[in-house]
Amino acid sequence: MKVFGLAGWSGSGKTTLLSKLLPELIARGVSVSTIKHTHHLVEMDKPGKDSYIHRESGATEVLVGSPQRWALIHENREEKEATLESLIMRMTPVDLLLVEGFKAYPHDKVEVYRRDNGKPLICAEDPHIVAVASDAPLPDVALPLFAIDDVAGLASFILQCCGLNGKGN
């Protein structure tokens, strides 16, 4: 399973770009899953629901299954936050695993950059950023530079970086 990331500051458009890349990659015959990192509290269930009661009663993991989907909720309790490596090991293998966030981890990634955010480029400090997708020209960037809406170009670049050719790979 190839792992490739999208990194950038909050509000840069990572999720928007990812939501456009997914159908483009899938149309090219690539099976894709995602991992998303957040610094916010994630609440998957609601007070009063059975899964919530199981978790609040002390279960370390609660798996909820239905005809449409299943979800595993894991409580860290006294554990440290899970590493990206440990989360990847839980994923069902696919051709490509796209990682949104986890910008400190050493995997190849595209930086998603918006000038109006007023934040510095991450690529200046992160050697694992292999390209930048931006809403503005960045003449000082020596990496491949894509328009933030060049979904086809970015998809081709990601597939090339990962050694995937699409159409069943």
DSSP notation for the chain: -EEEEEE--TTSSHHHHHHHHHHHHHHTT--EEEEE--SSPP--S-TTSHHHHHHHTT-SEEEEE-SS-EEEEE--TTSPPPPHHHHHHHSPP-SEEEEES-TTSSS-EEEEE-GGG-PPPSTTT-TTEEEEEESS--TT--S-EEETT-HHHHHHHHHHHHT--STT-
Query: All domains of the chain, ordered by start, with CATH?
Result: 2-40+81-162 (3.40.50.300)
- Residue 43: the pLDDT is 66
Taking the model in full, what pTM does it have?
A: 0.88
Q: What is the mean pLDDT of each run of 10 residues along the chain (169 residues)?
A: 95 94 96 83 74 86 86 84 90 95 91 94 95 94 96 97 81
